[in-house]
Structure 1
Amino acid sequence: MSKISVTELNKISREIRQDILDMVYTAQSGHIGGSFSSTEIVTALYFSEMRHLDPADPKRADRDRFVLSKGHACPVWYASLCKLGYFEKYHLSSLRKINSILQGHPDMKSTPGIDCTTGSLGHGCAAATGMALEGLMAKDGRRVYSILGDGELNEGVVWETAMAAAKFKLDNLVFFVDKNNLQMDGTSDQIMPLFSIEDKFASFGWNVLTIDGHNMDQILESLKVARNTKGKPTCIVAETVKGKGVSFMEDVRNWHGKAPSKEEFESAMAELTA
């Protein structure tokens, strides 16, 4: 991808949030909170970092891969793919409808540009690790990126994956942990305390960075560091806010999987378009 300015990337992030809000409101179902918390990360990856994003050739062998391991946040993925031209915008209004190409969790057999079906937490990051290992074996230059929720780290498969990625020295693999500190039933510490995510990944042999997950400059800089790290995978712990961008949704657990009413939609859209 050609590099574009931080100002333009932030503009794209705002537009993607508007599309997410519209999609979930129209469907009256879906996950706004975790989509909003990861919007800047997905924007940076798709509009600045990843190589060979070509809607006309979505399966190009040496393309970079992206796996949304926290698959319930797929509205942010769909909005990004649509903006890049993988499918027409009218599909966004079909989110979660029967026979739609945009299901409630990503489906690689239905949606152009989706490299991995996800939903069962922990499995997406494991698949991403396999993609990265394949890339090293094929020597095709691909890089693989995956976003995990901090609540997803409760899954044991994440740590089995962390061991394997370090063993195989997958320096073409980058995990983002979307650390918004909220799950469907409470805070991450209430459900299952994580203590230091950074120390955990470092102990497994990963290169670890901590950033503000809504600061585009920091996201881009962390990706640069990851590209220049050799011999080990990179985990970027992104401090984020669930529901980021809409004041009454920010850091509110109920917006994990709640659709807005007409009044809430209008108020939220007014903030996002201000």
Structure 2
Amino acid sequence: MPTPASSTAKSDFPWWLAAAVTLAVAAAIFIAASDLYAQVFATVAKGIGITVFVTVVAFALASAIGLGIALMGLSNSRWLRQIARFYVEIIRGVPILVLLFWIAFAGAPAFVVAWNALTAPLQSAGLLGELLVRDVSLLWRAIMALTIGYSAFISEVFRAGIQAVEKGQIEAAKALGLTRAQRFRLIVFPQAIRTILPPLGNDFVAMVKDSSLVSVLGVADITQMGKIYAAGSFRFFETYSIVAYIYLILTVGLSLALRALEKRLRRQHEE
């Protein structure tokens, strides 16, 4: 007669993962065996590097800005709290695609005008050249749009994680004479990261998918390479099936890696 522990172990077996891996391997074999699908995959895969670059850079910048906004929202200054709340509510209310267009075609030109105005003396002295709108690449405009859009969501993740730390521990750190920066670095953040990591990982996976929006600016990511191939060959089913397959490999792989990291941190905390 099976014990409750063995029954639980069997019920917890990730059958969904086994099915997903089986389908992924079968799809890989089919792609390798088909000249058409192999050609589509080789073309679309050229955009993987851009997709990964955009995601990693934008997420790193968004996390840094989000942490800063979260700390502003938790500061003792009423004005800093209001500024942080204003930023979060306004940015979260704008769709990422709209923000992408605004940054690319309104924000970037405005930045160029402001930069040239501020550096006019240096330009007159010949120490600095004039900045043109075309000098700001569409790739970096897309990265900044994703950075600004996601920083508002990530700031709320940081804020919730920091507030989840027991106030008693913070008071004890104050009693020991630790400065505000030391309390955050040694007491608050190491505990908050366990609460922050799961939703932060979800945002990272979501950014991998939302990075496909940069294709509207002509950035040569996975989606854009698929659009170009499909427009020239009219093989829409084959092309977008491959595009979906690559994104699934990236997102499911990241989800599993993040889940393993969460379990490792939980195990270390229990020990």
More strand by share: 1
TM-score range, shorter chain: under 0.3
TM (norm. structure 1) is: 0.22
More helix by share: 2
TM (norm. structure 2) is: 0.22
More relative contact order in 1 or in 2 (CA 8 Å, sep 6+)? Answer: 2
Compare CA radii of gyration and give the structure with the larger one: 2
